Structure 1
Amino acid sequence: MTHTNEKPHQCVVCEKRFTRSGHLKMHMMTHTKEKPHCCIVCEKRFSKSGNLKSHMLTHTKEKPHRCTICEKRFSKSGNLKRHMLTHTKEKPHRCIVYEQRFSESGNLKTHMLTRTNRKPYRCDVCEKRFTQGGHLKNHMWTHTKEKPYLYQTCEKRFSMRGNLKTHMLTHTDRKPFRCDVGEKRFTASGSSKKSHHDTTATHTKHKPYKCDVCVKIFAISGHSKTHMLKQTNEKPHRCDVCEKRFSRRGSVKRHELTHTKEKPHRCTVCAKRFSKSGSLRTHMLIHTNEKPHRCNVCEKRFRLVGTLKRHMVTHTEEKPHRCDVCEKRFSQRGDLKLHTLAHTKEKPHRCDFCEKRFRQVGTLKSHMLIHTKEKPYQCNVCEKRFSQRGNLKTHMLTHTNQKPYRCDICEKCFNRSAHLKRHMLTHTKEKPHRCDVCKKRFSISGNLKTHTC
């Protein structure tokens, strides 16, 4: 029948035909959902005995198939065959339309679907369609919220096995994937490396993606798409709890943690937990005392690239952000937002203990330490502890006798920037604080509070 291409056995459900009756029987299980083969260890069930055999190797950790070139071992012979193609560079599967070649038949099938724009796999919940069955499986986790893959060390869970493997590299500090152009290394071959490669400006300064609304150009297509959503004010991603909308899928995922109060990222040094991986990375710099970002003008170093950007404005003295009420100008958009709250008297951040309200979330966090009595910042010299990082920095100056803040007029030096600001008022005679009752003005806010009392 392999020569005649005859297929006498036909499925009564979908009319698909087969050359062997055994193949038809196995196919029928896709319709009946029957899984007669059961794992004796975890009781997981399978429709094919071969799938059960392959699954059992995950319990025994046995990898009987070995590559003769690099000696890497595999649990399945099919995985070994695919691996061998990385050595031979062979691509036996060819697209007859576009002449593009692939090492795996699955990649060719996916390629054909993307070219024809066919998406045969449909989600039964939201009816979204996909070109690959694996993509549909991954999508289903967004509905079930199930995360079956657990990493025992930090107890973090993942919905996809690939994400678990990538996460495990963060504990080993291994970065096996290297940039094809430069020497930069990555823990994952996927998004991180692709993002770096897509950022062709990294090596060639080429930015092929242009905004249709303004003249801004981008090196990464994803950045261009995100920018376009800001221009159109489109927010396609919605929170299922409060229905707040976001322009990025990642933003809604981070927002959902505010509802669940989940903090999946844990510091391995002090066991403090964080809701964002970026917050954990920033926190780790406190333990290592690393400051990787350096100012090219004064060579001052910073932990965060955002802090460096804000610092650079102090050299340019540029203030592009203007208040529409009093026309006061600011170098940073965040400072302008905080300033506008002074006009509206709005205090959006509330303490859950005493219900006191604050304009800034950072001020709220500092206030919360009053209730928790926590002092996470410790002096390395005298081991005195502080609730705020700024207080620790100021305290460290008492050991070094350093006074980094200098008046440009009389050259008097201070160990705090706030002391310098108050001192400058003695030269400018400015009194920015005014009593709302008698209109009397004061140079220091404390003097105003004493006056009003």
Structure 2
Amino acid sequence: MLIYTNEKPYGCDVCQKRFRRHGHLKSHMLTHTNEKLHRCDVCEKSFADSGNLKKHILTHTKEKPHQCDVCEKRFAQSGHLKTHILTHTKEKPHQCDVCEKSFSRSGHLKTHMLTHTREKPHQCDVCKKRFSKSGNLKVHGLTHTKEKPHRCDVCERCFAQSGDLKKHTLIHTKENPHRCDVCEKRFRTGGNLKAHGLTHTKEKPHRCDVVCEKKFSEVGHLKRHMLTHTKEKPHRCDVCKKMFSRVGHLKRHMMIHTNEKPHQCDVCEKRFREVGTLKRHMLTHT
């Protein structure tokens, strides 16, 4: 009979991280050697772990073998199903020891803890900028490579991140899948719903610790506010070299060079560069 304990007898000689199983240690060691022994036969992408390769294969087969018993939504990975189930149970088993905020995922708790420690362990090899999340570093890396591997099948617009493509696709489908439980208003993205939820709770958990102690409901608003103190303009136009404090301002500016007008009037089909201009135009029809 197997007895499970919290003991972790296998230690990594490089970073001292410990593991319960020797196989887990062996897989971990590949993160230091950068060795990727497992290759996909379809696209030839390589992986350090055979399990990651198996998960990747599902992106080609489109297979989703794991189904939610509540809403029948299907998932490629059992872990994704487990996380999804928490949206039905509203369970948040992972609690922060500092501020007692609770999270449904352990990964979200780990990320949250960095807001207390101010730690940014992930560094860009090109410009040395540091990030608290590895995912943010990966996204940042695309600003150097200019790679946009994700393309919209409808308008052929390309995106650096698959998540941005998914959000963009909702523009074409007009779908707003995220609904507020208080006022039933619907939103295109989960992030927009979360931000909206704070208008009901009046909660402003993000505070400017550097200068003025002003509080904000969204971390993005705090980051933009911080630039008013630092006067930093980190976003540069590759065409005319003009600098901007916000990436959104840069994106709008880039449309001047590309002459792109992504927002179309459903009545007369006239196109506009900014959604605000489209909204004002719509009033001419009413």
TM-score interval, smaller chain: 0.7 to 0.9
The 5-angstrom pairing of residues 239-254 of structure 1 reads 239-254=68-83
Determine the structure 1 residue equivalent to 2:222.
392
- Tell me the alpha carbon deviations over residues 7-46 of structure 1, each in whole angstroms, 9 at most, x when there is no partner: xxxxxxxxxxxxxxxxxxxxxxxxxxxxxxxxxxxxxxxx
- Over 3 Å counting, the alpha-carbon distance change for 1:398 and 1:260 in structure 2 is same
1:434–1:440 Cα contact (<8 Å) kept? yes
1:200–1:219 Cα contact (<8 Å) kept? no
Helix, strand or coil: the match of 1:325?
coil
- Over 3 Å counting, the alpha-carbon distance change for 1:249 and 1:303 in structure 2 is same
- Over 3 Å counting, the alpha-carbon distance change for 1:320 and 1:427 in structure 2 is closer
Alpha-carbon offset, residue 200 of structure 1: 5.3
**Is 1:415 the equivalent of 2:245?**
yes
Alpha-carbon offset, residue 281 of structure 1: 0.3
Q: Which amino acid aligns with 2:281?
A: H
CA distance in 1, matches of 2:170, 2:116: 35
Q: Which amino acid aligns with 1:178?
A: G
CA distance in 2, matches of 1:424, 1:206: 39
Determine the structure 2 residue equivalent to 1:183.
14
Q: Which amino acid aligns with 1:415?
A: S
CA RMSD of aligned residues (A): 2.8
Q: Which amino acid aligns with 2:131?
A: F
Q: Which amino acid aligns with 2:277?
A: N
**Is 1:340 the equivalent of 2:169?**
yes
Determine the structure 2 residue equivalent to 1:316.
145
Determine the structure 2 residue equivalent to 1:434.
264
**Is 1:221 the equivalent of 2:54?**
no
2:18–2:25 Cα contact (<8 Å) kept? no
Determine the structure 2 residue equivalent to 1:83.
none
Q: Which of 171, 176, 182 does residue 353 from structure 1 map onto? A: 182
Determine the structure 2 residue equivalent to 1:153.
none
CA distance in 1, matches of 2:43, 2:127: 34
**Is 1:447 the equivalent of 2:277?**
yes
CA distance in 1, matches of 2:171, 2:262: 13
- Over 3 Å counting, the alpha-carbon distance change for 1:428 and 1:234 in structure 2 is closer
**Is 1:376 the equivalent of 2:209?**
no
Alpha-carbon offset, residue 178 of structure 1: 2.1
2:237–2:254 Cα contact (<8 Å) kept? yes
Q: Percent identity?
A: 60
The 5-angstrom pairing of residues 133-144 of structure 1 reads 133-134=1-2
1:177–1:185 Cα contact (<8 Å) kept? no
1:322–1:336 Cα contact (<8 Å) kept? yes
Higher relative contact order (CA 8 A, sep 6+): 2
- Over 3 Å counting, the alpha-carbon distance change for 1:311 and 1:406 in structure 2 is closer
Q: Which of 282, 288, 304 does residue 111 from structure 2 map onto? A: 282
Q: Which amino acid aligns with 2:145?
A: T
- Over 3 Å counting, the alpha-carbon distance change for 1:403 and 1:317 in structure 2 is closer
- Tell me the alpha carbon deviations over residues 177-227 of structure 1, each in whole angstroms, 9 at most, x when there is no partner: 521xx322234433xx63341255345555444556664444323223333
TM-score normalised to structure 1 length: 0.56
1:377–1:386 Cα contact (<8 Å) kept? yes
- Over 3 Å counting, the alpha-carbon distance change for 1:184 and 1:265 in structure 2 is same
Q: Which of 81, 91, 94 does residue 262 from structure 1 map onto? A: 91
List runs of 5+ in structure 1 lacking aligned partners.
1-132, 136-160, 167-174
User: How many pairs align?
Assistant: 282
CA distance in 2, matches of 1:220, 1:407: 39
Alpha-carbon offset, residue 367 of structure 1: 1.0
CA distance in 2, matches of 1:240, 1:355: 24
* Higher mean displacement: 244-253 or 268-277: 244-253
- Tell me the alpha carbon deviations over residues 338-375 of structure 1, each in whole angstroms, 9 at most, x when there is no partner: 22111111111111111111111111111111111111
The 5-angstrom pairing of residues 163-182 of structure 1 reads 165=6, 177-179=10-12, 182=13
CA distance in 2, matches of 1:415, 1:425: 17
- Tell me the alpha carbon deviations over residues 122-173 of structure 1, each in whole angstroms, 9 at most, x when there is no partner: xxxxxxxxxxx448xxxxxxxxxxxxxxxxxxxxxxxxx62xx36xxxxxxx
Alpha-carbon offset, residue 256 of structure 1: 2.0
CA distance in 1, matches of 2:105, 2:45: 30
- Over 3 Å counting, the alpha-carbon distance change for 1:222 and 1:414 in structure 2 is closer
CA distance in 1, matches of 2:42, 2:260: 45
2:10–2:25 Cα contact (<8 Å) kept? no
- Tell me the alpha carbon deviations over residues 249-268 of structure 1, each in whole angstroms, 9 at most, x when there is no partner: 32332222122111010111
- Over 3 Å counting, the alpha-carbon distance change for 1:435 and 1:206 in structure 2 is closer
Helix, strand or coil: the match of 1:254?
helix
Helix, strand or coil: the match of 2:249?
helix
1:200–1:207 Cα contact (<8 Å) kept? no
